[in-house]
Structure formats: C-alpha cells, structure tokens
Amino acid sequence: MATRDPDRKRQQLMDAALAEFAEYGVAGARVDRIAGRAGISPGLVYSFFAGKEGLFDAVYEAIAEQTVDAVPIDADDLPGYAGRLHDAAAQNPQVMRFLAWYALERGERPVSEMVARSMDEKITAIEAAQRGGTVRSDRSAGEILALVLALANMWQHHTEDVGRLVPDAQRRTVITDAVRHLVTPQQPPRG
C-alpha cells in the first residue's frame, strides 16, 4: 500500500465531487468542501481537473458512461424495462439528483455522442418489437420511448407534493402497470 496513490485520490475526489454536486449543484458546491470530503487538500484538485467546472464535467462523463447502459433495454418487455429503470434510479438517488442539476446548469449543451447513440439503439429495438407485434404500432417508437422514460422516472422529477400521493411500496407497480397499458397492442399477439 503506497502512501502516495494518485489514482486512489483521484477516485476519492470524484466520489466526493459527486456527493457535493448532487447536494448543491455547480454554483453551490464548494471546492474546499469537496476536498475535505475526499480527504485531500484543496490545491490538489487542480492537479487532477480543470477547476470546479472541469471536475463537474468529469463527474458527468463518468456518470453518463456508467448510467447509459446500466439498464439494457428489452423492447419486448417494456414494463419490465421501465421497472428496472425505476429500480436503478431508486438505488442511486445521488446520481439522479446530479443529473437534475446537470439538466439545469448545463442543459444548453448539445447531446453527447454516447447518449445520442444509446437513444438510437433504443428506438431501433422498439421498432423491431413493433414489427414483432409485442408493442403497439399506432404510435411512433420515439413516442413510446418518451412515455416509458417519463413514467420510469416519474417519482424522481417531481416536487415533494407529488411524491406524497403514492406510498413507496406501490410506486414500481404504478409504473409497470401504466407502461403495460400504454404499449401493449389492443389485440394481444396470442389470444
């Protein structure tokens, strides 16, 4: 175990930054606090990243990479897919909150290459399922995907008032049932 371990410090810094940014956003985050959480000195931040903003962007890149393909789509079982998206979100509230900040503070940026490709793959998968008859075809794949994502994340995006409407235990079912109603063809494929 080396007393000098840049890679470990770098990782600690990223973890601390995620926690801080998730809590306060970029503008509200404090470099000293991040360094404190990471157990390093404030100055060291600048030998790893291009300042606070650079750190924020680096955290986003890391998160996007991990998150985008964390829940692979199963277009033949969109209710299950939505449920799994919900589970992943519920297990990583920090990441969800970070992404909410990102949408507000960096929202003007063009969609990253990786995210765009991931979206295209999902669209393609849904179109295949539509041809296969497991997903209704009277709506475009883009609309289907937008609905699935909106419902899967419905408990994240709202203010506290909406959260109180349904107890935690039933939230997953609300999502999966709703998606089932929306994407299942009127004439089910077999009987």
Give the binding site for DNA (CB under 7 A): 2-6, 9, 29-32, 39-47, 51-53
CA distance 153 to 88: 10
Listed in sequence order, the residues at least 6 apart from 65 whose beta carbon sits closer than 8 Å to its beta carbon are: 114
Q: Which of 77, 92, 161, 85 is nearest to 118 (CA)?
A: 85
> 3 touches which of DNA, a second copy, none (CB within 5 to 8 A by kind)?
DNA
Least Å from the CB of residue 93 to a second copy:
12
Shortest distance (Å) from residue 89 CB to DNA? 28
Residue 90 engages a second copy in binding (rule: CB under 8 A):
no
What is the rounded CA–CA span in Å between residue 148 and residue 179?
Answer: 6
Residue 38 vs residues 20, 28, 66, 101: alpha-carbon distances, Å: 10, 17, 21, 21
- Binding track, positions 139-158, relative to a second copy; x by CB under 8 A: xx-xx-xxx-xxx-xx--xx
Q: Name the residue with tokens 């990782």.
A: 11
Which residues here bind a second copy, judged by CB under 8 A? 24-28, 97, 99-105, 107, 109-111, 115-116, 119, 123, 139-140, 142-143, 145-147, 149-151, 153-154, 157-162, 164-166, 170, 174, 177-178, 181-182
